[in-house]
Structure 1
Amino acid sequence: MKRIAFILGTIALALAGCAMTEQAATPLPVYAAGSLREALTAIAADHEARSGQKVALTFGASGLLRQRIEQGEGALVFASADTEHPQRLAARGGWAPPQVFARNSLCALTAAHISATPDTLLATLLRPDVRLGTSTPKADPSGDYAWALFRKAEAVRPGGYALLETKALKLTGGADSPKPPAGRGTYAWVMDEGQADVFLTYCTNAVASQREVPRLKIVQVPPELQVGAAYGLTQRSDAPRAARDFVAYLLSEPGQAVLQRYGFGRP
């Protein structure tokens, strides 16, 4: 009887090992905000190296990704550039309440011919000859944060909100927004093509864009206009252990260190 029990136990362990190997070989579908592309790609590579679990990353505007998930696409983890979109998934049921895992802020990415400082940024944005680019509100949180900046501008310069809202060019983040060529960053490409003179985007995006197109300049948004971006993370309520392990690694000190290396703030 002991020998039979030993054999059965050995078989069970072998089957469990096969199941774990099969699970690791199946890529974990993770949907994430486009601004996380560099950082999350590095984190996924680190996670795979330490755990053996492959990760399939899908990047895009957070609002559009949420819609795709609601329409039945099989993401198991969703990392959004805000907390509203993952909260909407949680409210529908089947997703865990979101938790903030990173922070970002807005910067102005400007063409070489634009001379602006934090003190003169608002006056520059309001100039009729300056083309102002933003992402698309509702579809992409970056656009929503830009509109929040416009509302703050109203308190500094009465009438500023209406002027900024009217002139803002929604160049990225929408369902029909033109996509950059393969290998090009969205914001670097938009600015390199001369589609805007100033683009309001995340500071992490601005830094990446300047690396790609060095002649671009970055202007910090002054405190009275600054809008903080809180990034929300959620997973399916019935997600397998692989998803829970990836979320735990993203929240761990090594995962947070990678996010900081790419310019994100701690939660």
Structure 2
Amino acid sequence: MEAMMLSNPTDCWPHMWACKAHSVQFMMQIFSLKLSNITAVVDGPVHLYGYFAVQDHLDPLRNYIFNRTRDDPFIMGQDNGVNSDNSLIPMSGPKRGIGNQARVLIEFDMKIKNGETQDDDFQLIDGAIICSEFSLPDRVFTQRIEGDCGAVDISRAILHGAVEATIEVSISQVHGNGFSLSLYSYISQIPEKIQLFDGVISKPCDLNRFVVAVVLNTPLILAFKVDQRDGSNHVCAYCPFKAPMFSTYLSFLLVV
């Protein structure tokens, strides 16, 4: 699915030709997935693949949070120790906001690559959980999902009166050998951050669109950390936005 499924809504009030507001709703925001434990003996870096997805009342199809094939796993180096910040599993989604007006199904099947065939691989977690809590609003809580050879921690929050924001970042110019970029966001005055991107930029490009849920009339802060690959420069930038009553699309141009 393409991002902005909810950022271009049809519930305009009073009507689409003179839009003044959109309805808010309960929304779920996933802040992080983290490899918290491995019980299997893994020789070398961890090659993680499979999927982690949600389904809500808006759409019965899977809304992927993590989705990697066996031929393209996420590789977690030996220095990325479990229970450290480096044990975070990169999230490629969601592609649209997660509605939480009713129960949300979280489905997962994640494996650790081991050997030549899939039969040799370790099953990290496999199954599903149903989330229907409406307590602890606007506060992050962590749930551990235990599996056959390890565990994954999911940190999420239920946001009351929330809207969807779609973020797009364009890299317009790249000088020298490129730079390392870490992009994350803070939402709704919650101190925990949402990691959006962490990697190396070597040429001008558009990053994937990112979707987050924000409580109405609260801030959305984008944080950029940039390091030149030759170590000559280090830049931190913070860009605040506010979630208004009308539909919002954030487009940011980064020049380094």
TM-score range, shorter chain: under 0.3
Q: Which has the higher strand share?
A: 2
Could you tell me the TM-score, scaled by structure 1's length? 0.27
Which protein has greater RCO, CA pairs closer than 8 Å, 6+ apart?
1
Q: Which has the higher helix share?
A: 1
Max Rg structure:
1
